[in-house]
Structure 1
């Protein structure tokens, strides 16, 4: 079960960074699929490992910058920006930069195969990668100024701006970090399955990611929660998905159940983490 939910947990960590800063990123699944497939396509076309990897990461950074600039500087609600960018990125992958919906793992990327296709002392490497991302995100959020700034901005953007914090650049940084984490999750998934099915953005995975964040206790109002919240949420959602699979429930029934759970979790979050009159005036997702 841990191996199957490691990708979900990695995506949840990227989403948590954005949500703590009072945002949301609905483009994360497309960011996981398309840049990863682009890296695999370039490597298979003879461009080499490092060129393909750097170009794919730069492409993801560009998408993250687009999200962040639209949210931070154009002040468009993050919900609509990331939804539109995710749909556009998915369409670009289908009609532009990718040859097919299913991209096989190329031999040129075999040095990265250990990300999801290996193990260390019997422990699947995908779990180890998840653990490394957990520690890195914890160190970033709790032991760096930028991480603490994200909490402050999520709690009160106006107050953070008044104290002289670079609020808009930090908001952009959140989306760039989420994009890079999404690509890492994509590489883990692709190396584990030996292919990347870009049609994954048509599934309900993005709602599973949000469910991980909300069930773990990361407040949608911003400024609350942390890395351990995501770990707990990942284990809870993984247990739910595993249980429904064992019960042989159909996909429609599973989606219905997860939707109800997500609705209840959001309602509880609004009760446990209410926005006061001051903070409710700025930064709604």
Structure 2
């Protein structure tokens, strides 16, 4: 075998492994090393714990977003569902209801909102990006009118397991990180080994082909948004525990776009049918390190948003180049 063919094969080997995921992982390691070198408090144990806690919320929301994106969709109403569902549960508990019962009612609210979104997307065939963009303010408006008027809502002091959920550590690692790991493992099993999970990939890859094959596409689309809404509610509980409460103004922040950045940056294609839990973890680590570093550098809110938007734009361009849309993909619909 000639040297030229050997070199060509070697280059092909490296090209196959040089994916968006590996590039982002390498950039994350480099960025972490750079921040550790130039920022005095970045590598401190306290800051690493703070970073891990913020990563847990981003990562779990990213898992819910990933399920919708893999199935060629998107859910921009996740944060509104999370906030309204958990705040209503807190208000019900403050009025004298058992906390577990209040959580069940809040989760039921999230499920209903997810069903409404899914029905609009699946049966009215309105693109998910427009449906969820409109439903976010609707969901928050329902909460403001019917459930609460205050901005700040504290976690109940009489629920010991909730306090442990937010502040207990094992081997120095917060409980929320173990919950993220367990959630990632469960979503991995769901997507890889259940028929429903594999069907989400099939629908995302080619919805028309999935329908002609006999998949109940519309009910599965509804179920996908219900699952995302339920995950969002559960993340709201973790957020409340780790922050000793929740502020409804979280809806007005860029959190949902940070979550979308996690998914897109990690390498889950917006064209659907590709990606998985590993991509979410990689994207979560990158965004978590970036946000933490910018916070320690005391960059203004506007500057941080500019940098995140620029990163999002680059990620979208890279995703489009790595996953070009062909004629068959275009005919299958947009998110």
Establish whether TM, by shorter chain, passes 0.5.
yes
Structure 1 partner of 2:236: 186
TM normalised by structure 2 equals 0.83
Q: What is the CA distance between 1:112 and its match in structure 2? A: 2.7
| Aligned partner of 1:129 among 175, 179, 185 | 179
Structure 1 partner of 2:90: 40
Instruction: Tell me the distance in 2 between the aligned counterparts of 1:109 and 1:197.
Output: 19
Structure 2 partner of 1:176: 226
Is the 1:115–1:187 contact (alpha carbons within 8 Å) kept by the matching residues of 2?
no
1:94-173 matches, cutoff 5 A: 94-173=144-223
Q: What is the CA distance between 1:269 and its match in structure 2? A: 0.7
Q: What is the CA distance between 1:114 and its match in structure 2? A: 2.6
Instruction: Tell me the distance in 2 between the aligned counterparts of 1:28 and 1:109.
Output: 26
Instruction: Tell me the distance in 2 between the aligned counterparts of 1:62 and 1:264.
Output: 35
CA displacement, residues 209-249 of structure 1 (integer Å, 9 cap, x when unaligned):
01000010000000010000000000011111112112221
Q: Note the residue ranges of structure 2 that are not aligned, 5 or more in a row.
A: 1-50
Q: What is the CA distance between 1:120 and its match in structure 2? A: 2.3
1:1-285 matches, cutoff 5 A: 1-285=51-335
Instruction: Tell me the distance in 2 between the aligned counterparts of 1:117 and 1:19.
Output: 32
Q: Alignment partner of 1:278: what SS?
A: helix
Instruction: Tell me the distance in 1 between the aligned counterparts of 2:135 and 2:151.
Output: 19
Q: What is the CA distance between 1:283 and its match in structure 2? A: 2.6
Q: What is the CA distance between 1:63 and its match in structure 2? A: 0.3
Is the 1:94–1:101 contact (alpha carbons within 8 Å) kept by the matching residues of 2?
no
Moved more, 113-122 or 156-165: 113-122
Instruction: Tell me the distance in 2 between the aligned counterparts of 1:90 and 1:134.
Output: 28
Q: Alignment partner of 1:103: what SS?
A: strand
Moved more, 166-175 or 240-249: 240-249
Q: What is the CA distance between 1:61 and its match in structure 2? A: 0.1
Report the count of equivalent residues.
285
Q: What is the CA distance between 1:108 and its match in structure 2? A: 4.6
List 4+ stretches of structure 1 deviating above 4 A: none
TM normalised by structure 1 equals 0.97
Instruction: Tell me the distance in 2 between the aligned counterparts of 1:280 and 1:57.
Output: 36
